[in-house]
Structure 1
Amino acid sequence: MSSNEERRDAARRKLEERLERERHIARQRRITIISVCSVAVLAAVAVGGYFYYRHWDDKRNTDCTYTKAANDWDKTLKSIEEQVKAAPADQKAEGEKYLAFMREGGKNMRTSPMPQSRTRNTGTVDWTLKTNLGEIPITLDRSSAACNVNALISLTENKYYDGTDCHRLAESAKLHVLQCGDPTRTGAGAPGWTSPDENPTDLKPGEINPQMLQLGMTPPVIYPRGTVAIANRNDEQSGVTNTGSAQFFIVTKDSELQPTLSVVGKVDEAGMKIVDKVVAGGIDPGPVGTPTSGFPKTPLKIESASISS
């Protein structure tokens, strides 16, 4: 082969090598670009998925504010003792009876851990009260009062209600309720914390008193028979709110009440037949009651409470 042909072959090989290197570099560049783009897309999808999940999770959950509220029973007793000492002579006997009642109740005081603050706000939960008269099935509705339903679940899981008596039966012109959930049977017991108000918004209005409206008070609403709601010590005029916790009541007949009592669920008809037996037994005024509000003569003891989804 002549030197010219050798030079041409050498030049051709160098050109081919250079072109191959350039093609290789171009392929690597494309691979790098595709990889970077893929990572960017995956990152965008991950970030988007995270925020979508957070949005979805936030919509189905609620953050609740529970407040510590220690029940100083000794302080309560001391206050009652002072009132009895200062009472007129004709009232001392009744005062001493009430003081003895409170002292006895204090022996059964119990507490329960504060519920977790975050809870589901949709769906229902089956709550069963096993009583001395039979089982009372209740359907709890998270969408109605998520924080208070969560509180009942927590109290049930910590056996707060086990071995407690329903302590109040009220039967008057507009109020028909059976109240439970206080181990002391005094109406003053509490688990050591309070739950937030979740006022009902879908109840029918009750009878409006013009004088009530003039005083700026909220008109009552009708709580239907079978409703389960949380008792509280709220005082609208004094601005006292968020005082509910463990005590609940079952509406035995449509009742007019202030719309400040969180509705947590409903008793089914089988359970209401048991409640009706208690109502039919009548009221024992006891040491602190009246003919229209006192202990049920037919005792209803919650032997145990249980939750199932």
Structure 2
Amino acid sequence: MTNEQRRAEAKRKLEHRLGTQQAAARRRKIIVVTTSVVVAVAVIATVGTLVTNKVLDDREKARYTACAYTPTPADANPFSQPPQIPPNLSGEQLARAKQFVADFTAGKSKQRTAKVPADRQLKKGDLTATLTTSQGTIPIELDRASAPCNVAAVASLIDQKYYDNTECHRMTEGGTGKIAVLQCGDPTATGAGAPGWTSPDEFPTDLKAVPQDPQMASLGVPASVVYPRGTVAIANSYQPGQGGQASGANTGSAQMFLVINDSELPANYSVIGKVDDAGLAVLDKVYKGGLTPGIRPSQDPTTGAVTYAPTPGDGKPKLAVEIEKATVS
């Protein structure tokens, strides 16, 4: 092989080696770029998923609220311990006591239960509830924004037909107490009935305050607000107490009161909606019919003696109001 041939062969090998190195470099570059792209896409996808989930979570939080409905223990059922007639009663007191026990016993047989509502409910939106009663139709506009958990509870009870064929068991006539309401939603018609669970308190914060007597305030009497005519609110056994020692928190459920005339009450009742004009006409008719005073036992804190007395201005409406059917849409 001549020198010229050797130089040509060496040049060919050099060019081949350089070509091989360049090809390998290109492959490494492609792998690096491809890997980078894959990693970038994965990062973008992960970030996108996180952002999407955050947006969805924010939307869920904006639309829904958590509702802590509490099952009622069996031993808390007032019907588990029927009232006893004290042995020292006679005459009218004994007759009243017997009537009270008879009403209580009749109510026990009508007790109902219902499924607990879902623990997540919409915060906003209106529903229309319609109470078809023996005295006429009472449409109610339910407003989730004011008390979403309690509105959901009532809507759930309506769907379960809990209110069908039940009596509006109590009415007040106002007077010095400035309270005029019709109370419904207790199948037992005793004031003690409940569906087996309670709803969380969602007390109003936008009702007009009633100027309070300083002496009453010093005694720990809670201030009142005005529940306007037509308001529908949930009844409960909440008592503010003194020194912040409240009792009966989160005890509302099925019973509701329909405000016939502006009524002054503590701001302790969740407002769920408003009766429309047609429904107010029905309430006015029932209110004008008057009421039959109820009977209520009371115990002397000193002697422990139990007496039974009528409750002036508070009792069953003389024009019986039976909810024949309740619907919601």
TM-score by length of 2: 0.86
Deviates more, 1:226-235 or 1:117-126: 117-126
SS in 1 for 2:253: coil
2:56 is matched with 53
SS in 2 for 1:85: coil
2:277 is matched with 269
Deviates more, 1:246-255 or 1:275-284: 275-284
Asked if 1:65 is matched to 2:68, the reply is: yes
2:303 is matched with none
Asked if 1:229 is matched to 2:233, the reply is: yes
Shift of 1:286: 5.2
Shift of 1:53: 2.2
CA distance in 1, matches of 2:266, 2:149: 19
Distance 1:87 1:153, change over 3 A: farther
Shift of 1:257: 0.4
Asked if 1:212 is matched to 2:216, the reply is: yes
Shift of 1:33: 0.4
1:191 touches 1:246 (CA, 8 Å); kept in 2?
yes
CA distance in 2, matches of 1:262, 1:149: 9
- Find 1:297's aligned residue among 306, 312, 318: 318
TM-score by length of 1: 0.91
Return the letter of the residue paired with 1:13. H
2:301 is matched with none
SS in 2 for 1:110: coil
Deviates more, 1:66-75 or 1:85-94: 66-75
1:283 touches 1:291 (CA, 8 Å); kept in 2?
no
Asked if 1:75 is matched to 2:80, the reply is: yes
Return the letter of the residue paired with 1:296. P
Percent sequence identity over aligned pairs: 41
Structure 1: give runs of 5+ residues left out of the alignment.
Answer: none
CA distance in 1, matches of 2:328, 2:65: 20
Return the letter of the residue paired with 1:186. T
1:195 is matched with 199
CA distance in 2, matches of 1:154, 1:297: 30
SS in 2 for 1:135: strand
Return the letter of the residue paired with 1:251. V
1:85 is matched with 86
CA distance in 1, matches of 2:235, 2:116: 18
Shift of 1:130: 2.1
Shift of 1:139: 1.4
1:19 is matched with 22
Shift of 1:111: 1.0
2:233 touches 2:257 (CA, 8 Å); kept in 1?
yes
Asked if 1:251 is matched to 2:259, the reply is: yes
CA RMSD of aligned residues (A): 1.9
SS in 1 for 2:59: helix
CA distance in 2, matches of 1:72, 1:227: 29
2:294 touches 2:314 (CA, 8 Å); kept in 1?
no
CA distance in 1, matches of 2:52, 2:220: 49
Deviates more, 1:208-217 or 1:33-42: 208-217
